[in-house]
Structure 1
Amino acid sequence: MVKLANALTTLGLQALVAYALPEACSGVCNNSHDPSIIRRNDGTYFRFSTGGKIAIHTAPSLTGPWAYQGAALPSGSSINLAGNQDLWAPDISLVGDQYYLYYSVSTFGVQDSAIGVARSSSLDAGTWTDLGSTGVVSSAGAAYNAIDGNLINEPGTSNYFLTFGSFWNGIHRVRVTPTQTHGSVYQVAFDPSDTAMEGPTVFKNGDYYYLFFSKGSCCGYDANRPAAGKEYRIMVCRSSAATGPFADKNGKSCQSGGGTLVLGSHDWVYGPGGQGVYQDPTNGPVLYYHYVDTRIGYADGQKKFGWNKIDFSSGWPVV
């Protein structure tokens, strides 16, 4: 069902956009900040999310019913930084016959951060081994913030890249093995007029690599909501090469403020972001994310799991 969205202010322009409402979700559909999903060969879907030392939920389908299974890292992270007992922004990938779970160790508003990784052969709670830091770390004054890691493989090669970053000089990229960095960090996206960008996800469809990212204020909506259009929203740029450069639909470089709006607030959906993109065997490519339902409340703990099918027929993702 498609309804007319609210008028949004995005990149200084008024946009009137139609979005699909989130697909159905049953079971535990909250506790889903910064979700990351994957389907195991037996058909079980796993959802990993920020909080609870990376909460694990499972379901027989994307629509649920989702059930809590426990923490991925019940002892926290071995990385010796503040925040190692409150892990953020999980990202799950299958490499060979092993699952790798990337996570962030940080505290709100600082650059003293690191991206860690854990490994499991089954995805189940109780099977994860913490491998510690990937080598992607940052501290005050660094050129980037080491959070929100996302792994992508360049198809047909052994090249793996970790895309990451938040606020400080935008989104960055580094080659990984995939458990350790292997090369120099370089920037792939930045907006000098609005540095509130984070949570990158790279997804290949057809001839292009699509760089999705969240932009705007993510949290604390119950205490202080941002100006209209400045709340979390999902943007995209694309490139014909895994390494970039990335540009938006108008050809503007993603390193110079480029970004095409994919999903913003609409109807009772507010502040969608923390997104991922998944090639689902049943539904095709899907965009998933967290959001607050304005009919329920704006608190961070009330964020819900949302997902929609994506149409790439125009060359750009449409929800």
Structure 2
Amino acid sequence: MKRIRLAAVLAAALLALLPTTAQADTTYPNPLPITGQQIIHDPTVIHLKNGQYVAYSTGGIIGARLSTDMKHWDDAGNAFAEPPSWWYEYNDTGDPWAPDISYRDGKYWLYYSVSSWGSNHSAIGVATSPSGLPGTWTDHGKVFSSERTDSWNAIDPGVIRADDKLWMAFGSYWTGIRMVELDPETGKAVPGATVHHLATRPDAPYAVEGPYVVKHGRYYYLFASYDACCSGVNSTYKIRVGRSESVTGPYVDSDGTPLLEGGGDLLLAGNGRFIGTGGESVFRDKGRDILAYHYYDVDDNGTPKLALNPLSWGRDGWPTVAAWGD
């Protein structure tokens, strides 16, 4: 019996020395197999008018990838040749985060964040392009900003048209997810716009960020990343979702729990080699909604990589992550 107890103690000690990773739920379907330049963080993807797919991301001066089939991706440099000068008001390196690309009124719109780690002295900017390709963007400056006295953080933009108006969800920690109305002509926040509150957690540090809103049927669906990113295989990022009949909320999960009270259905969590799934966006392609996100690859020392899965919408109206071919 002593030997058994000793063996149990030794086994527990060895397990304690192993790196901690998010526990797998192996019921999630794997993302599309991807080749070429896979490294990415906080991806936003769109199918361009020229037939190519472009993915922009955190890293570089808004890093760019190009593909003809969504399967093989090539490094395409950066959205900008150099950082616009005003970015340096928010960090010393002119480093942008978490872009969002969309198409409306005959041109492409690229929203992005500039900030520094652990600060809500932050701003969201916007640029436009006739083609959406890297190197063709014209910057138009600040859309919306936050200061250390604010209870929100102006990063992680996600733009949606709703009821003939233009809206931008945003937010990271600092009491969670917010939304403001944008002027469709300038793409910037309407002066004096109400800052709507969409989602938060019950306790500090209110670990929810990276919102993206999608219309399906009569509902608006708010996707957001919960818990911790940016720690390789120790990341606990996961994607949750709620819905509302109004773009400005209130959003609730399938049990009716408001997202302002910590609700949110779990859509995707770490599974197998795909750890810390988050930084998500959704794009429409060939009649399907495609979820784009990053994960940390257990088989490659936690390198962040691009993942793509179609979304399947159930009869109850709620989305699930689907496998390719479903």
TM above 0.5, one fold? yes
1:133 aligns with 2:142: yes
Distance 2:84 2:194 in 1: 25
**Equivalent position SS for 1:34:** coil
Letter in 2 for 1:118: A
- Structure 2 counterpart of 1:290, which letter? H
Change (3 A) 1:28 1:8: closer
Structure 1 residues 309, 303: closer, same or farther in 2, change over 3 A? Answer: same
2:50 corresponds, among 42, 46, 66, to 42
Greater share of residues in helix: 2
2:298 is matched with: 294
Kindly indicate whether residue 249 of structure 2 is the aligned counterpart of residue 247 of structure 1. Answer: no
Residue 121 of structure 2 corresponds to residue 85 of structure 1: no
Gaps of 5+ in 2: 1-20, 322-326
Aligned equivalent of 2:318: 316
For the pair 1:167 / 2:173, whether they are aligned, the reply is yes
1:184 maps to which residue? 194
Q: Which residue identity does 2:74 align to in structure 1?
A: A
Is residue 54 from structure 1 mapped to residue 62 from structure 2 by the alignment?
yes
The offset of 1:8, in angstroms, is 7.3
Name the structure 1 match of 2:32. 23
Percent identity of equivalent pairs: 38
Q: Kindly indicate whether the alpha-carbon contact (under 8 Å) linking 2:239 and 2:278 is maintained by their aligned counterparts in 1.
A: yes
- Checking the alignment, whether the CA contact within 8 Å between 1:78 and 1:130 is kept in structure 2 is no
Conservation of the 8 A alpha-carbon contact between 2:169 and 2:179: yes
Residue range with higher mean Cα deviation, 289-298 or 77-86 = 77-86
Shift of 1:186: 1.6
Q: 1:186 to 1:104 in 2, by over 3 A?
A: same
Q: Distance in 2 between matches of 1:173 and 1:82?
A: 21
Q: TM-score, length-normalised on structure 2?
A: 0.86
Is the aligned partner of 1:304 residue 2:305?
yes
What whole-Å deviation, never above 9, does each CA across 1:230-265 have from its counterpart, x for those lacking one?
Answer: x10001010112221110111000111111100001
Q: Residue 316 of structure 1 aligns to which amino acid in structure 2?
A: W
In structure 2, do the counterparts of structure 1 residues 99 and 113 end up closer, same or farther at CA, with 3 Å as the change threshold? same
Question: Residue 197 of structure 1 aligns to which amino acid in structure 2?
Answer: V
How far does residue 141 in structure 1 lie from its aligned partner after superposition?
Answer: 2.5
Q: Deviations over 1:164-204 (max 9, x none)?
A: 00000100000001421111212111112361100000011
Letter in 2 for 1:92: I
Structure 1 residue aligned with 2:15: none
How far is 1:50 from its partner? 0.5
CA contact (8 A) 2:244 2:252 kept: yes
Contact 2:157 2:169 in 1 (8 A): yes
1:285 matched to 2:301: no
Out of 177-186 and 194-203, give the one that drifted further. Answer: 177-186
1:277 Cα offset (Å):
1.0
- TM score, norm. by length of structure 1: 0.88
CA contact (8 A) 1:248 1:259 kept: yes
2:241 matches 1:233: no
Contact map agreement 1:8 1:16 (CA 8 A) in 2 = no
The answer to whether the 8 A contact 2:25-2:269 is kept is no
CA contact (8 A) 1:46 1:56 kept: yes
Amino acid of the residue matched to residue 188 of structure 1?
L
Shift of 1:114: 0.3
* Residues 1:74 and 2:81 aligned together: yes
Partner of 1:115: 124
* Corresponding residue of 2:264: 259
- Cα 1:216–1:118 change in 2 (3 A) is same
